[in-house]
Chains A and B, each alone.
Chain A
Protein backbone atom coordinates (compact mmCIF):
# COMPACT_ATOMS: atom_id res chain seq x y z
CA UNK A 1 0.00 0.00 0.00
CA UNK A 2 1.31 3.43 -0.89
CA UNK A 3 1.89 5.50 2.18
CA UNK A 4 3.21 8.73 0.77
CA UNK A 5 3.34 9.82 -2.80
CA UNK A 6 4.72 12.88 -4.54
CA UNK A 7 3.77 13.31 -8.14
CA UNK A 8 5.21 15.80 -10.58
CA UNK A 9 6.40 18.11 -7.83
CA UNK A 10 8.14 21.28 -8.83
CA UNK A 11 9.42 23.82 -6.36
CA UNK A 12 10.57 27.28 -7.30
CA UNK A 13 12.20 29.50 -4.71
CA UNK A 14 13.44 33.02 -5.47
CA UNK A 15 13.11 32.35 -9.15
CA UNK A 16 15.29 29.24 -9.02
CA UNK A 17 13.99 25.79 -9.70
CA UNK A 18 14.88 23.79 -6.62
CA UNK A 19 12.98 20.62 -7.41
CA UNK A 20 11.70 19.49 -10.74
CA UNK A 21 9.57 16.59 -11.82
CA UNK A 22 9.73 14.68 -8.56
CA UNK A 23 7.80 11.44 -8.64
CA UNK A 24 8.22 9.17 -5.69
CA UNK A 25 6.06 6.52 -4.09
CA UNK A 26 6.87 5.03 -0.72
CA UNK A 27 5.07 1.96 0.49
CA UNK A 28 3.85 1.46 4.01
CA UNK A 29 6.52 0.22 6.35
CA UNK A 30 9.37 0.88 3.97
CA UNK A 31 12.68 2.40 4.95
CA UNK A 32 14.02 4.46 2.12
CA UNK A 33 17.01 6.76 1.90
CA UNK A 34 17.58 9.76 -0.26
CA UNK A 35 21.13 10.68 -1.12
CA UNK A 36 22.48 13.35 -3.38
CA UNK A 37 25.06 16.10 -3.72
CA UNK A 38 24.82 19.26 -1.68
CA UNK A 39 21.96 21.63 -2.44
CA UNK A 40 20.11 19.12 -4.57
CA UNK A 41 16.85 19.81 -2.81
CA UNK A 42 16.76 16.84 -0.43
CA UNK A 43 15.62 18.93 2.47
CA UNK A 44 13.11 20.85 0.34
CA UNK A 45 11.59 17.56 -0.70
CA UNK A 46 11.36 16.43 2.88
CA UNK A 47 9.65 19.65 3.85
CA UNK A 48 7.06 19.09 1.17
CA UNK A 49 6.48 15.58 2.47
CA UNK A 50 6.07 16.93 5.99
CA UNK A 51 3.49 19.45 4.83
CA UNK A 52 5.58 22.37 6.09
CA UNK A 53 6.03 23.56 2.50
CA UNK A 54 4.04 23.16 -0.66
CA UNK A 55 5.29 22.44 -4.15
CA UNK A 56 4.86 25.15 -6.71
CA UNK A 57 3.29 22.48 -8.85
CA UNK A 58 2.29 18.88 -8.36
CA UNK A 59 0.56 16.95 -5.63
CA UNK A 60 1.56 15.32 -2.39
CA UNK A 61 -0.61 12.55 -1.03
CA UNK A 62 -0.61 10.55 2.18
CA UNK A 63 -2.51 7.27 1.95
CA UNK A 64 -4.02 8.42 -1.30
CA UNK A 65 -5.32 11.72 0.06
CA UNK A 66 -3.91 15.10 -0.73
CA UNK A 67 -2.96 16.96 2.41
CA UNK A 68 -2.54 20.55 3.39
CA UNK A 69 -0.36 21.70 6.23
CA UNK A 70 1.18 19.36 8.70
CA UNK A 71 -0.24 15.86 8.85
CA UNK A 72 -0.60 14.41 12.37
CA UNK A 73 0.75 11.04 11.28
CA UNK A 74 4.05 12.55 10.17
CA UNK A 75 7.07 12.93 12.41
CA UNK A 76 10.12 14.93 11.39
CA UNK A 77 13.65 14.99 12.66
CA UNK A 78 15.50 18.09 11.52
CA UNK A 79 19.08 18.28 10.46
CA UNK A 80 20.25 20.07 13.55
CA UNK A 81 19.54 18.26 16.75
CA UNK A 82 16.43 19.98 17.88
CA UNK A 83 15.55 19.66 21.48
CA UNK A 84 13.87 22.44 23.36
CA UNK A 85 16.85 23.61 25.40
CA UNK A 86 14.60 25.16 28.06
CA UNK A 87 12.80 21.91 28.80
CA UNK A 88 14.24 19.03 30.78
CA UNK A 89 14.77 15.84 28.83
CA UNK A 90 11.61 14.25 30.17
CA UNK A 91 9.60 17.38 29.31
CA UNK A 92 11.06 17.31 25.82
CA UNK A 93 9.84 13.77 25.30
CA UNK A 94 6.41 14.38 26.80
CA UNK A 95 6.00 17.56 24.75
CA UNK A 96 4.38 15.73 21.84
CA UNK A 97 1.95 13.48 23.73
CA UNK A 98 0.82 16.27 26.06
CA UNK A 99 0.33 18.56 23.05
CA UNK A 100 -1.84 15.84 21.56
CA UNK A 101 -3.97 15.70 24.67
CA UNK A 102 -2.46 12.79 26.55
CA UNK A 103 -2.71 12.79 30.32
CA UNK A 104 0.50 14.09 31.91
CA UNK A 105 1.14 11.08 34.15
CA UNK A 106 0.62 8.68 31.31
CA UNK A 107 2.91 10.72 29.09
CA UNK A 108 5.65 10.67 31.73
CA UNK A 109 5.27 6.93 32.06
CA UNK A 110 5.63 6.46 28.35
CA UNK A 111 8.53 8.89 28.17
CA UNK A 112 10.33 6.91 30.85
CA UNK A 113 9.79 3.80 28.80
CA UNK A 114 11.48 5.49 25.85
CA UNK A 115 14.32 6.73 28.01
CA UNK A 116 15.01 3.25 29.30
CA UNK A 117 14.84 1.89 25.77
CA UNK A 118 17.78 4.13 24.90
CA UNK A 119 19.53 3.57 28.22
CA UNK A 120 18.93 7.16 29.30
CA UNK A 121 16.91 6.49 32.46
CA UNK A 122 19.21 8.66 34.54
CA UNK A 123 18.97 11.65 32.25
CA UNK A 124 15.25 12.45 32.41
CA UNK A 125 15.83 15.28 34.83
CA UNK A 126 18.78 16.83 33.02
CA UNK A 127 18.89 19.83 30.71
CA UNK A 128 19.66 19.15 27.06
CA UNK A 129 23.05 20.88 27.25
CA UNK A 130 24.15 18.30 29.79
CA UNK A 131 23.82 15.48 27.25
CA UNK A 132 26.28 14.43 24.56
CA UNK A 133 25.44 14.80 20.89
CA UNK A 134 24.58 11.12 20.55
CA UNK A 135 22.26 11.19 23.55
CA UNK A 136 20.54 14.28 22.18
CA UNK A 137 19.96 12.47 18.90
CA UNK A 138 18.38 9.58 20.78
CA UNK A 139 16.11 11.99 22.64
CA UNK A 140 15.03 13.56 19.34
CA UNK A 141 14.14 10.10 18.05
CA UNK A 142 12.15 9.41 21.22
CA UNK A 143 10.36 12.78 20.96
CA UNK A 144 9.07 11.74 17.56
CA UNK A 145 8.53 8.04 18.10
CA UNK A 146 6.46 8.54 21.25
CA UNK A 147 3.78 10.05 18.98
CA UNK A 148 3.61 6.78 17.02
CA UNK A 149 4.08 8.43 13.65
CA UNK A 150 3.19 6.38 10.61
CA UNK A 151 5.69 8.31 8.58
CA UNK A 152 8.99 9.48 10.01
CA UNK A 153 11.07 11.89 8.00
CA UNK A 154 14.71 12.21 9.03
CA UNK A 155 17.15 14.79 7.81
CA UNK A 156 20.77 13.79 8.50
CA UNK A 157 19.87 12.11 11.75
CA UNK A 158 23.40 10.94 12.37
CA UNK A 159 25.32 13.90 10.98
CA UNK A 160 28.19 15.20 13.05
CA UNK A 161 28.53 12.16 15.28
CA UNK A 162 31.57 9.97 15.71
CA UNK A 163 31.66 6.63 13.94
CA UNK A 164 30.97 4.39 16.93
CA UNK A 165 28.00 6.45 18.09
CA UNK A 166 26.72 6.62 14.53
CA UNK A 167 26.81 2.87 14.16
CA UNK A 168 25.16 2.18 17.49
CA UNK A 169 22.37 4.72 16.93
CA UNK A 170 21.88 3.31 13.43
CA UNK A 171 21.36 -0.15 14.91
CA UNK A 172 18.97 1.12 17.56
CA UNK A 173 17.07 3.05 14.95
CA UNK A 174 16.83 0.05 12.64
CA UNK A 175 15.55 -2.15 15.45
CA UNK A 176 12.98 0.47 16.28
CA UNK A 177 11.84 0.57 12.69
CA UNK A 178 11.64 -3.21 12.65
CA UNK A 179 9.48 -3.26 15.79
CA UNK A 180 7.10 -0.43 14.99
CA UNK A 181 7.27 -0.44 11.22
CA UNK A 182 6.73 3.21 10.49
CA UNK A 183 7.47 4.36 6.98
CA UNK A 184 10.83 6.07 7.15
CA UNK A 185 12.28 8.50 4.68
CA UNK A 186 15.85 9.16 5.54
CA UNK A 187 18.10 11.84 4.09
CA UNK A 188 21.83 11.44 4.30
CA UNK A 189 25.00 12.21 2.43
CA UNK A 190 26.75 9.11 3.72
CA UNK A 191 26.29 6.39 1.14
CA UNK A 192 27.34 3.61 3.45
CA UNK A 193 24.76 4.67 5.99
CA UNK A 194 22.04 4.77 3.33
CA UNK A 195 22.87 1.24 2.22
CA UNK A 196 23.05 -0.05 5.76
CA UNK A 197 19.71 1.36 6.83
CA UNK A 198 17.36 1.26 3.92
CA UNK A 199 15.60 -1.03 1.52
CA UNK A 200 15.62 1.48 -1.29
CA UNK A 201 18.01 4.32 -1.97
CA UNK A 202 17.05 7.20 -4.22
CA UNK A 203 19.88 9.16 -5.73
CA UNK A 204 19.15 12.77 -6.57
CA UNK A 205 20.92 15.08 -8.98
CA UNK A 206 21.27 18.79 -8.46
CA UNK A 207 20.30 21.97 -10.30
CA UNK A 208 17.45 21.39 -10.49
CA UNK A 209 16.86 18.64 -7.97
CA UNK A 210 15.63 15.52 -9.68
CA UNK A 211 15.45 11.91 -8.79
CA UNK A 212 18.23 10.35 -10.78
CA UNK A 213 18.07 6.67 -9.98
CA UNK A 214 16.57 4.17 -7.58
CA UNK A 215 18.63 1.39 -6.00
CA UNK A 216 17.06 -1.62 -4.35
CA UNK A 217 19.10 -2.91 -1.43
CA UNK A 218 18.48 -6.60 -1.00
CA UNK A 219 20.15 -7.27 2.31
CA UNK A 220 18.47 -9.07 5.22
CA UNK A 221 16.14 -6.81 7.20
CA UNK A 222 17.69 -7.57 10.55
CA UNK A 223 21.02 -6.14 9.52
CA UNK A 224 22.26 -5.71 13.07
CA UNK A 225 22.20 -9.48 13.48
CA UNK A 226 24.47 -10.18 10.54
CA UNK A 227 28.04 -10.06 11.69
CA UNK A 228 30.28 -7.61 9.89
CA UNK A 229 27.64 -6.85 7.32
CA UNK A 230 29.38 -3.59 6.59
CA UNK A 231 32.39 -5.54 5.37
CA UNK A 232 30.51 -8.10 3.29
CA UNK A 233 31.04 -8.16 -0.49
CA UNK A 234 27.36 -7.50 -1.26
CA UNK A 235 27.38 -4.48 0.97
CA UNK A 236 30.54 -3.19 -0.65
CA UNK A 237 29.03 -3.69 -4.07
CA UNK A 238 25.95 -1.66 -3.23
CA UNK A 239 28.07 1.13 -1.85
CA UNK A 240 30.35 1.07 -4.86
CA UNK A 241 27.52 1.14 -7.37
CA UNK A 242 25.96 4.00 -5.52
CA UNK A 243 29.24 5.86 -5.37
CA UNK A 244 29.95 5.47 -9.07
CA UNK A 245 26.56 6.84 -9.93
CA UNK A 246 26.96 9.59 -7.34
CA UNK A 247 30.21 10.75 -8.91
CA UNK A 248 28.53 10.84 -12.29
CA UNK A 249 25.72 12.96 -10.87
CA UNK A 250 28.23 15.32 -9.33
CA UNK A 251 29.85 15.86 -12.72
CA UNK A 252 26.54 16.70 -14.30
CA UNK A 253 25.88 19.16 -11.53
Chain B
Protein backbone atom coordinates (compact mmCIF):
# COMPACT_ATOMS: atom_id res chain seq x y z
CA UNK B 1 0.00 0.00 0.00
CA UNK B 2 2.70 2.45 1.03
CA UNK B 3 4.71 1.72 -2.14
CA UNK B 4 1.62 2.57 -4.14
CA UNK B 5 1.27 5.92 -2.38
CA UNK B 6 4.90 6.70 -3.14
CA UNK B 7 4.36 5.97 -6.80
CA UNK B 8 1.30 8.19 -6.65
CA UNK B 9 3.45 10.99 -5.29
CA UNK B 10 5.90 10.56 -8.13
CA UNK B 11 3.10 10.78 -10.64
CA UNK B 12 1.82 13.85 -8.84
CA UNK B 13 5.15 15.61 -9.30
CA UNK B 14 5.25 14.86 -13.00
CA UNK B 15 1.71 16.17 -13.39
CA UNK B 16 2.22 19.18 -11.11
CA UNK B 17 5.13 20.58 -13.09
CA UNK B 18 2.63 21.91 -15.65
CA UNK B 19 0.53 24.14 -13.34
CA UNK B 20 3.84 25.25 -11.86
CA UNK B 21 5.03 26.48 -15.26
CA UNK B 22 1.71 28.25 -15.84
CA UNK B 23 1.84 30.02 -12.48
CA UNK B 24 5.46 31.09 -12.88
CA UNK B 25 4.78 32.19 -16.42
CA UNK B 26 1.94 34.43 -15.27
CA UNK B 27 3.42 35.70 -11.99
CA UNK B 28 7.02 36.47 -12.86
CA UNK B 29 7.66 39.55 -14.99
CA UNK B 30 9.31 39.03 -18.36
CA UNK B 31 13.00 39.91 -18.63
CA UNK B 32 13.82 43.52 -19.35
CA UNK B 33 15.43 42.77 -22.71
CA UNK B 34 12.36 40.81 -23.87
CA UNK B 35 9.31 42.66 -25.07
CA UNK B 36 6.20 41.62 -23.16
CA UNK B 37 4.49 38.73 -24.88
CA UNK B 38 0.95 37.43 -24.49
CA UNK B 39 1.14 34.20 -22.56
CA UNK B 40 -2.17 32.69 -23.51
CA UNK B 41 -1.02 30.26 -26.23
CA UNK B 42 1.69 28.54 -24.22
CA UNK B 43 -0.51 28.49 -21.15
CA UNK B 44 -3.49 27.06 -23.01
CA UNK B 45 -1.38 24.30 -24.52
CA UNK B 46 0.04 23.51 -21.10
CA UNK B 47 -3.43 23.43 -19.59
CA UNK B 48 -4.62 21.02 -22.28
CA UNK B 49 -1.59 18.82 -21.74
CA UNK B 50 -2.04 19.01 -17.98
CA UNK B 51 -5.65 17.94 -18.37
CA UNK B 52 -4.90 14.98 -20.61
CA UNK B 53 -2.03 13.85 -18.42
CA UNK B 54 -4.08 14.12 -15.22
CA UNK B 55 -6.86 12.03 -16.72
CA UNK B 56 -4.36 9.49 -17.96
CA UNK B 57 -2.62 9.16 -14.62
CA UNK B 58 -5.92 9.14 -12.73
CA UNK B 59 -7.37 6.55 -15.07
CA UNK B 60 -4.25 4.43 -15.01
CA UNK B 61 -2.92 4.70 -11.53
CA UNK B 62 -5.88 5.36 -9.32
CA UNK B 63 -8.43 3.28 -11.23
CA UNK B 64 -5.89 0.65 -12.30
CA UNK B 65 -7.15 0.70 -15.87
CA UNK B 66 -3.76 1.09 -17.51
CA UNK B 67 -0.61 -0.99 -17.10
CA UNK B 68 1.59 0.52 -14.40
CA UNK B 69 4.60 0.50 -16.72
CA UNK B 70 2.88 2.62 -19.29
CA UNK B 71 1.58 5.17 -16.80
CA UNK B 72 5.07 5.37 -15.38
CA UNK B 73 6.55 5.87 -18.84
CA UNK B 74 4.10 8.59 -19.79
CA UNK B 75 4.60 10.50 -16.56
CA UNK B 76 8.38 10.16 -16.74
CA UNK B 77 8.39 11.54 -20.26
CA UNK B 78 6.03 14.33 -19.21
CA UNK B 79 8.31 15.23 -16.35
CA UNK B 80 11.30 15.55 -18.66
CA UNK B 81 9.25 17.52 -21.16
CA UNK B 82 7.82 19.76 -18.43
CA UNK B 83 11.23 20.40 -16.90
CA UNK B 84 12.57 21.41 -20.29
CA UNK B 85 9.78 23.98 -20.77
CA UNK B 86 10.19 25.17 -17.19
CA UNK B 87 13.90 25.83 -17.67
CA UNK B 88 13.22 27.51 -21.00
CA UNK B 89 10.56 29.77 -19.52
CA UNK B 90 12.67 30.81 -16.55
CA UNK B 91 16.13 31.19 -18.04
CA UNK B 92 15.25 32.70 -21.39
CA UNK B 93 11.87 34.33 -20.78
CA UNK B 94 12.13 35.56 -17.23
CA UNK B 95 15.85 35.96 -16.50
CA UNK B 96 16.73 37.11 -20.01
CA UNK B 97 19.69 34.81 -20.58
CA UNK B 98 20.96 34.33 -24.10
CA UNK B 99 20.73 36.48 -27.16
CA UNK B 100 17.18 37.71 -27.75
CA UNK B 101 17.30 37.34 -31.47
CA UNK B 102 18.65 33.79 -31.86
CA UNK B 103 17.00 32.31 -28.77
CA UNK B 104 13.34 33.33 -28.63
CA UNK B 105 11.47 32.74 -25.40
CA UNK B 106 8.68 30.17 -25.26
CA UNK B 107 5.83 32.69 -25.18
CA UNK B 108 7.07 34.26 -28.40
CA UNK B 109 7.50 30.90 -30.05
CA UNK B 110 4.12 29.51 -29.10
CA UNK B 111 2.43 32.75 -30.05
CA UNK B 112 3.52 32.02 -33.62
CA UNK B 113 1.06 29.13 -33.84
CA UNK B 114 -1.77 31.61 -33.39
CA UNK B 115 -0.50 34.57 -35.37
CA UNK B 116 0.66 32.31 -38.20
CA UNK B 117 -2.20 29.91 -37.83
CA UNK B 118 -3.16 29.81 -41.52
CA UNK B 119 0.31 29.74 -42.92
CA UNK B 120 2.11 27.50 -40.43
CA UNK B 121 -0.25 25.49 -38.32
CA UNK B 122 -2.73 24.71 -41.04
CA UNK B 123 -1.42 25.16 -44.60
CA UNK B 124 2.18 24.15 -44.10
CA UNK B 125 1.26 21.15 -41.99
CA UNK B 126 -1.30 20.07 -44.51
CA UNK B 127 1.03 20.39 -47.48
CA UNK B 128 3.79 18.49 -45.70
CA UNK B 129 1.64 15.70 -44.35
CA UNK B 130 -0.02 15.06 -47.70
CA UNK B 131 3.37 14.89 -49.40
CA UNK B 132 4.84 12.60 -46.78
CA UNK B 133 1.92 10.22 -46.88
CA UNK B 134 1.68 9.99 -50.65
CA UNK B 135 5.35 9.01 -50.77
CA UNK B 136 5.09 6.74 -47.77
CA UNK B 137 1.98 4.89 -48.88
CA UNK B 138 3.39 4.45 -52.37
CA UNK B 139 6.40 2.87 -50.74
CA UNK B 140 4.24 0.62 -48.57
CA UNK B 141 2.12 -0.43 -51.51
CA UNK B 142 5.10 -1.44 -53.61
CA UNK B 143 7.73 -2.55 -51.10
CA UNK B 144 5.54 -4.96 -49.13
CA UNK B 145 4.33 -7.02 -52.12
CA UNK B 146 7.78 -7.00 -53.69
CA UNK B 147 9.38 -7.95 -50.39
CA UNK B 148 6.99 -10.87 -50.00
CA UNK B 149 7.72 -11.98 -53.53
CA UNK B 150 11.47 -11.74 -53.03
CA UNK B 151 11.30 -13.49 -49.67
CA UNK B 152 9.28 -16.39 -51.00
CA UNK B 153 11.40 -17.05 -54.02
CA UNK B 154 14.98 -18.12 -53.41
CA UNK B 155 16.11 -16.96 -56.81
CA UNK B 156 14.53 -13.54 -56.44
CA UNK B 157 15.95 -13.29 -52.93
CA UNK B 158 19.50 -14.06 -54.02
CA UNK B 159 19.26 -11.37 -56.65
CA UNK B 160 17.59 -8.69 -54.56
CA UNK B 161 19.73 -9.13 -51.48
CA UNK B 162 23.10 -7.98 -52.88
CA UNK B 163 21.33 -5.45 -55.04
CA UNK B 164 19.46 -3.93 -52.12
CA UNK B 165 22.63 -3.87 -50.03
CA UNK B 166 24.11 -1.37 -52.47
CA UNK B 167 21.06 0.67 -53.42
CA UNK B 168 19.53 0.89 -49.98
CA UNK B 169 22.53 2.66 -48.56
CA UNK B 170 22.64 5.48 -51.04
CA UNK B 171 21.32 8.49 -49.11
CA UNK B 172 18.02 9.19 -50.90
CA UNK B 173 18.57 12.92 -50.70
CA UNK B 174 21.25 12.66 -53.39
CA UNK B 175 18.50 11.88 -55.89
CA UNK B 176 16.84 15.19 -55.21
CA UNK B 177 18.60 17.49 -57.70
CA UNK B 178 18.18 14.96 -60.46
CA UNK B 179 14.57 14.31 -59.44
CA UNK B 180 13.89 18.02 -59.61
CA UNK B 181 15.25 18.00 -63.13
CA UNK B 182 13.23 15.06 -64.42
CA UNK B 183 9.92 15.46 -62.57
CA UNK B 184 7.38 18.08 -63.62
CA UNK B 185 7.45 19.84 -60.25
CA UNK B 186 9.46 20.01 -57.05
CA UNK B 187 6.45 18.54 -55.33
CA UNK B 188 6.74 15.36 -57.40
CA UNK B 189 10.45 15.27 -56.81
CA UNK B 190 10.02 15.40 -53.02
CA UNK B 191 7.38 12.70 -53.12
CA UNK B 192 9.75 10.63 -55.20
CA UNK B 193 12.64 10.85 -52.76
CA UNK B 194 10.31 10.08 -49.87
CA UNK B 195 9.15 7.05 -51.79
CA UNK B 196 12.70 5.90 -52.45
CA UNK B 197 13.78 6.56 -48.88
CA UNK B 198 10.90 4.64 -47.33
CA UNK B 199 10.92 1.91 -49.97
CA UNK B 200 14.24 0.25 -49.08
CA UNK B 201 13.85 -0.26 -45.34
CA UNK B 202 10.33 -1.62 -45.88
CA UNK B 203 11.47 -3.89 -48.70
CA UNK B 204 14.52 -5.26 -46.90
CA UNK B 205 12.65 -5.94 -43.68
CA UNK B 206 9.72 -7.56 -45.44
CA UNK B 207 12.07 -9.66 -47.52
CA UNK B 208 13.94 -10.90 -44.46
CA UNK B 209 10.77 -11.41 -42.50
CA UNK B 210 9.32 -13.62 -45.21
CA UNK B 211 12.59 -15.39 -45.88
CA UNK B 212 13.03 -16.27 -42.22
CA UNK B 213 9.63 -17.87 -41.73
CA UNK B 214 10.02 -21.36 -40.33
CA UNK B 215 9.38 -23.60 -43.36
CA UNK B 216 7.64 -26.06 -41.06
CA UNK B 217 4.79 -23.72 -40.40
CA UNK B 218 4.17 -23.40 -44.13
CA UNK B 219 4.37 -27.17 -44.52
CA UNK B 220 1.93 -27.54 -41.69
CA UNK B 221 -0.53 -25.22 -43.42
CA UNK B 222 -0.10 -27.22 -46.60
CA UNK B 223 -0.80 -30.46 -44.78
CA UNK B 224 -3.92 -28.99 -43.24
CA UNK B 225 -5.09 -28.34 -46.78
CA UNK B 226 -4.38 -24.68 -47.50
CA UNK B 227 -3.62 -23.60 -51.06
CA UNK B 228 -0.94 -21.07 -51.93
CA UNK B 229 -3.28 -18.10 -51.78
CA UNK B 230 -4.51 -18.99 -48.33
CA UNK B 231 -1.00 -19.72 -47.11
CA UNK B 232 0.06 -16.29 -48.29
CA UNK B 233 -2.81 -14.48 -46.57
CA UNK B 234 -3.07 -16.51 -43.38
CA UNK B 235 0.49 -17.68 -42.79
CA UNK B 236 3.16 -15.77 -44.70
CA UNK B 237 1.89 -12.23 -44.19
CA UNK B 238 1.07 -12.55 -40.48
CA UNK B 239 4.29 -14.43 -39.79
CA UNK B 240 6.32 -11.68 -41.43
CA UNK B 241 4.22 -8.90 -39.90
CA UNK B 242 6.63 -8.00 -37.06
CA UNK B 243 9.37 -7.45 -39.64
CA UNK B 244 7.08 -5.63 -42.05
CA UNK B 245 6.09 -3.26 -39.25
CA UNK B 246 9.67 -2.72 -38.14
CA UNK B 247 10.53 -1.72 -41.70
CA UNK B 248 7.46 0.46 -41.98
CA UNK B 249 8.40 2.38 -38.86
CA UNK B 250 11.87 3.10 -40.19
CA UNK B 251 10.22 4.09 -43.46
CA UNK B 252 7.88 6.49 -41.69
CA UNK B 253 10.70 8.22 -39.85
CA UNK B 254 12.80 8.42 -43.00
CA UNK B 255 9.81 9.92 -44.82
CA UNK B 256 9.69 12.85 -42.45
CA UNK B 257 13.43 13.36 -42.59
CA UNK B 258 13.38 13.49 -46.38
CA UNK B 259 10.21 15.53 -46.45
CA UNK B 260 11.63 18.42 -44.49
CA UNK B 261 15.03 18.15 -46.14
CA UNK B 262 13.42 18.23 -49.56
CA UNK B 263 11.13 21.09 -48.67
CA UNK B 264 14.00 23.17 -47.39
CA UNK B 265 15.79 22.80 -50.68
CA UNK B 266 13.11 24.19 -52.88
CA UNK B 267 9.43 23.69 -52.18
CA UNK B 268 6.96 26.54 -52.14
CA UNK B 269 4.79 25.10 -49.39
CA UNK B 270 5.19 22.88 -46.37
CA UNK B 271 6.89 22.95 -43.03
CA UNK B 272 10.41 22.73 -44.43
CA UNK B 273 9.66 25.62 -46.73
CA UNK B 274 8.22 27.65 -43.84
CA UNK B 275 11.33 27.01 -41.80
CA UNK B 276 13.70 27.97 -44.58
CA UNK B 277 11.67 31.01 -45.56
CA UNK B 278 11.78 32.55 -42.10
CA UNK B 279 15.37 31.49 -41.59
CA UNK B 280 16.28 33.52 -44.64
CA UNK B 281 14.56 36.59 -43.30
CA UNK B 282 15.83 35.96 -39.78
CA UNK B 283 12.67 35.31 -37.78
CA UNK B 284 14.04 32.71 -35.41
CA UNK B 285 10.91 32.53 -33.29
CA UNK B 286 9.11 31.22 -36.36
CA UNK B 287 11.95 28.86 -37.18
CA UNK B 288 11.83 27.35 -33.69
CA UNK B 289 8.04 27.13 -33.87
CA UNK B 290 8.40 25.26 -37.16
CA UNK B 291 10.95 22.83 -35.71
CA UNK B 292 8.69 22.10 -32.77
CA UNK B 293 5.71 21.56 -35.03
CA UNK B 294 7.64 19.08 -37.19
CA UNK B 295 8.68 17.13 -34.11
CA UNK B 296 5.09 17.20 -32.94
CA UNK B 297 3.86 15.71 -36.20
CA UNK B 298 6.50 12.98 -36.21
CA UNK B 299 5.57 12.14 -32.63
CA UNK B 300 1.87 12.29 -33.43
CA UNK B 301 1.96 9.97 -36.42
CA UNK B 302 4.20 7.46 -34.71
CA UNK B 303 2.24 7.38 -31.47
CA UNK B 304 -1.31 7.76 -32.67
CA UNK B 305 -0.94 6.26 -36.12
CA UNK B 306 1.77 3.71 -36.23
CA UNK B 307 1.78 2.37 -32.67
CA UNK B 308 -1.96 1.85 -32.71
CA UNK B 309 -1.85 -0.03 -36.00
CA UNK B 310 1.07 -2.06 -34.71
CA UNK B 311 -0.55 -3.04 -31.43
CA UNK B 312 -3.66 -4.02 -33.36
CA UNK B 313 -1.80 -6.14 -35.92
CA UNK B 314 0.47 -7.78 -33.37
CA UNK B 315 -2.07 -8.39 -30.65
CA UNK B 316 -1.31 -12.08 -30.91
CA UNK B 317 2.13 -11.54 -29.45
CA UNK B 318 2.80 -12.00 -25.78
CA UNK B 319 3.09 -8.57 -24.22
CA UNK B 320 6.28 -7.84 -22.40
CA UNK B 321 5.84 -5.84 -19.24
Tell whether A136 is near chain B: CB-to-CB under 8 Å: no
Query: Are A99 and B226 closer than 8 Å at their CB atoms?
Result: yes
Query: Are A95 and B317 closer than 8 Å at their CB atoms?
Result: no
Note all chain B residues with C-beta closer than 8 A to A86: 238-239, 241, 316
Tell whether B47 is near chain A: CB-to-CB under 8 Å: no
Query: Are B220 and A129 closer than 8 Å at their CB atoms?
Result: no
* Chain B residue nearest in CB terms to A85: B316
Interface residue count on the B side (C-beta < 8 Å):
21
Main SS class of interface, B: helix
* Chain B residue nearest in CB terms to A95: B224
Query: Are A129 and B316 closer than 8 Å at their CB atoms?
Result: yes
Task: Given A84-B238, A87-B234, answer yes or no on A76-B220 (Cβ-Cβ < 8 Å).
Answer: yes
Tell whether B169 is near chain A: CB-to-CB under 8 Å: no
Query: Are A75 and B223 closer than 8 Å at their CB atoms?
Result: yes
- Give B289 Cβ to nearest chain A Cβ, in Å: 44
Query: Are A82 and B216 closer than 8 Å at their CB atoms?
Result: yes
Task: Given A99-B230, A127-B316, answer yes or no on A82-B224 (Cβ-Cβ < 8 Å).
Answer: no
Complex alpha-carbon distance, A95 and B224, angstroms: 7
Tell whether B67 is near chain A: CB-to-CB under 8 Å: no
- Residues of B in contact with A (beta carbons under 8 Å apart): 216-217, 219-227, 230, 234-235, 238-239, 241, 315-318
Q: How big is chain A's contact interface, by range? A: 20 to 34
Partner of A85 from the list B220, B221, B227, B317 (CB cut-off 8 Å) is B317
Complex alpha-carbon distance, A84 and B238, angstroms: 9
Besides A84-B234, A86-B238, A86-B316, 5 other CB < 8 A contacts? A85-B317, A95-B226, A96-B225, A99-B230, A127-B316
Tell whether A144 is near chain B: CB-to-CB under 8 Å: yes
Central interface residue in A85, A86, A143, by most chain B CB within 10 Å: A86
Note all chain B residues with C-beta closer than 8 A to A99: 221, 224-227, 230
Within 8 A of B (CB), among A139-175: 143-144, 147
Tell whether A100 is near chain B: CB-to-CB under 8 Å: yes
Beta-carbon contacts of A10-24 to B below 8 Å, as 1s and 0s? 000000000000000
Task: Given A95-B224, A99-B230, A129-B316, answer yes or no on A84-B216 (Cβ-Cβ < 8 Å).
Answer: no
Complex alpha-carbon distance, A74 and B224, angstroms: 9
Query: Are A76 and B223 closer than 8 Å at their CB atoms?
Result: yes
